[in-house]
Amino acid sequence: MAKNPATTIKELTDRLNGSLGRLSAQQSADIEQSPPRTSSGFSTVGQKQPVPYREKIQKISAEVVDSNPYSRLMALQKMGIVKDYEKIREKTVAVVGVGGVGSVVAEMLTRCGIGKLILFDYDKVEIANMNRLFYQPDQAGLSKVDAAKQTLIHVNPDVQIEVHNFNITTMDNFETFVDRIRHGSLTNGKVDLVLSCVDNFEARMTVNVACNEENQIWMESGVSENAVSGHIQYIEPGKTACFACVPPLVVASNIDERTLKREGVCAASLPTTMAVVAGFLVMNTLKYLLNFGEISHYVGYNALVDFFPRDAIKPNPSCEDSHCQARQKEYEERKTLEKPNIVSTPTHDEPVVHEDNEFEIVLLEDSEEGTATETATSSNLASGLKYAYEPQPNVDQRNDQTPAQIATHDLLISLKDKLIEEAKNKRTK
């Protein structure tokens, strides 16, 4: 006998209400069981062990299927950009500082399938970092290196991640840092590259000393405290200017950078500028590691007018770092044996004024600077060759600038002078 439709509807309604009730009870239980809060109010959920989402892949393939995490990268070979992309799996990169720039750099290299990353930082993730990319609110309170490792292993379990939760500038840690540069690779040899993504002069100088000593190629990066400019720099000991070759203004003026910190004032930061600088840094890294394109010696970024000065800086023969001087001699000797390369990156005949300072305000190039532009025009190259990007002409450059560029330039100069003056006054008090 067929059921009465009225009964059926009642039965269904009761069952539905029962399910909703159970669901609501379960949700309440979930809320009660949600991660405990620490005394600082931070969730401790981030302290769980990293969970890779898949098994490691032994041999990467170029097969175009939705499940292959390397198909888009291997396509670079088919497109003729990179000759042997798989070589990236043999490479080791040390990243010093995994803050707003370094964490994004580490993520990009992880997604590109780098062989190994060695991360150095001694900071903790804070809610105040959430204006930047990479870290999640539930990681607040964790050390940056542990939080980074957790995320990176989840994204790509093929990458080996080694972390050091310490400050490289102290004596003991410096020794470990140098040891990792020397023996940190996948075959216990030298790392392929060191990337500096730190936010202070002392740490940059420490990386500089270590890399000059170890004859280690590295790249420096920085974002200004006003969040609207940044730069990257390729440093090959002996061949290009090291960080000490042209000291930043703060050092030249004998000002202790700690005295420049103003109470109640913190550096501004934007995820945009940091991502642009991280992108430039990783692009230069990929070109260096996989041998394609042209490695930039220096790229600046002025976000206010979208200006990207590109330059090359020769080492200073009277650099204060004795290891830098030794590397310069070695390079000169080596150069006499090498054949000249007609498409090498242009270099300055004179050292340029280092644009870095405590506030890292990157100025537009002065018209009297920039001898590189004369050597960098296509007319100096063998017939049929030309640079992908022509540098800006250096003669009467100011006349060619837009009113916005001139205004920004003047503003930055006056701001920098004001900050240095303030620091001097503070010091004499």
- Assess 419 for contact with Zn ion (CB under 5 A): no
Q: Which of 310, 317, 316 is nearest to 296 (CA)?
A: 310
Shortest reach from residue 240's CB to Zn ion, in Å: 9
Whether 237 and 210 have beta carbons less than 8 Å apart is answered as no
Cα–Cα distance between 220 and 229 in angstroms, integer?
15
Q: Among the candidate windows 73-81, 194-202, 238-246, 387-395, which touches Zn ion by CB under 5 A?
A: 238-246
Q: Where are the alpha helices (DSSP H) in 349-402?
A: 372-375, 397-400
The beta strands (E) that lie in 21-159 are given as: 92-96, 116-120
What are the φ and ψ backbone dihedral angles of 278, each rounded to 5 degrees? -60, -40
Cβ-based nearer residue to Zn ion, 321 or 360: 321
Q: Among the candidate windows 46-54, 221-229, 275-283, 314-322, which touches Zn ion by CB under 5 A?
A: 314-322
DSSP 143: B
Cβ-based nearer residue to Zn ion, 91 or 354: 354
Shortest reach from residue 243's CB to Zn ion, in Å: 7
Binding mask 244-273 for Zn ion (x = CB under 5 A): xx----------------------------
What SS3 class is residue 364?
coil
Whether 301 and 273 have beta carbons less than 8 Å apart is answered as yes
Separation in Å, CA 328 to CA 2, 145, 305, 318, 322: 97, 35, 36, 10, 10
Shortest reach from residue 216's CB to Zn ion, in Å: 14
Considering only residues 27 to 46 of the shown chain, the ones binding Zn ion according to CB under 5 A are none
Q: Among the candidate windows 140-148, 220-228, 316-324, 398-406, which touches Zn ion by CB under 5 A?
A: 316-324
Shortest reach from residue 348's CB to Zn ion, in Å: 14
Separation in Å, CA 418 to CA 275, 314, 360: 29, 30, 14
Cβ-based nearer residue to Zn ion, 125 or 245: 245
Q: Among the candidate windows 46-54, 71-79, 317-325, 407-415, which touches Zn ion by CB under 5 A?
A: 317-325
Q: Which of 362, 234, 216 is nearest to 294 (CA)?
A: 234
Q: Among the candidate windows 136-144, 145-153, 236-244, 337-345, which touches Zn ion by CB under 5 A?
A: 236-244
Q: Which of 197, 211, 242, 266 is catalytic?
A: 266
- Assess 319 for contact with Zn ion (CB under 5 A): yes
Cβ-based nearer residue to Zn ion, 20 or 252: 252
Cβ-based nearer residue to Zn ion, 168 or 245: 245
Cβ-based nearer residue to Zn ion, 158 or 356: 356
Cα–Cα distance between 190 and 214 in angstroms, integer?
9
Binding mask 120-159 for Zn ion (x = CB under 5 A): ----------------------------------------
Shortest reach from residue 66's CB to Zn ion, in Å: 50
Whether 238 and 328 have beta carbons less than 8 Å apart is answered as yes
Q: Among the candidate windows 113-121, 133-141, 169-177, 239-247, which touches Zn ion by CB under 5 A?
A: 239-247
- Cβ atoms < 10 Å from Cβ of 109: 27
- Residues in binding contact with Zn ion, number by CB under 5 A: 6
Cβ-based nearer residue to Zn ion, 125 or 244: 244
Considering only residues 388 to 417 of the shown chain, the ones binding Zn ion according to CB under 5 A are none
Cα–Cα distance between 359 and 416 in angstroms, integer?
8
Cβ-based nearer residue to Zn ion, 34 or 322: 322
Cα–Cα distance between 75 and 3 in angstroms, integer?
62
Shortest reach from residue 324's CB to Zn ion, in Å: 3
- Assess 324 for contact with Zn ion (CB under 5 A): yes
Shortest reach from residue 320's CB to Zn ion, in Å: 7
Structure tokens belonging to residue 56: 């490691």
What SS3 class is residue 12?
helix
Q: Is the dihedral of CA 375, 381, 386, 388 positive or negative?
A: negative
> Has 242 been annotated as catalytic?
no
Shortest reach from residue 98's CB to Zn ion, in Å: 26
Q: Is the dihedral of CA 5, 7, 8, 14 positive or negative?
A: positive
Shortest reach from residue 177's CB to Zn ion, in Å: 19
The string of DSSP codes covering 273-300 is: HHHHHHHHHHHHHHHHHHT-S---SEEE
Residue written as tokens 């990353």? Answer: 117
Binding mask 162-191 for Zn ion (x = CB under 5 A): ------------------------------
User: What is the gyration radius of the CA atoms in the chain, in angstroms?
Assistant: 26
Cβ-based nearer residue to Zn ion, 19 or 322: 322
> Which residues are known to be catalytic?
266
Q: Which residues bind Zn ion (CB under 5 A)?
A: 242, 244-245, 319, 321, 324
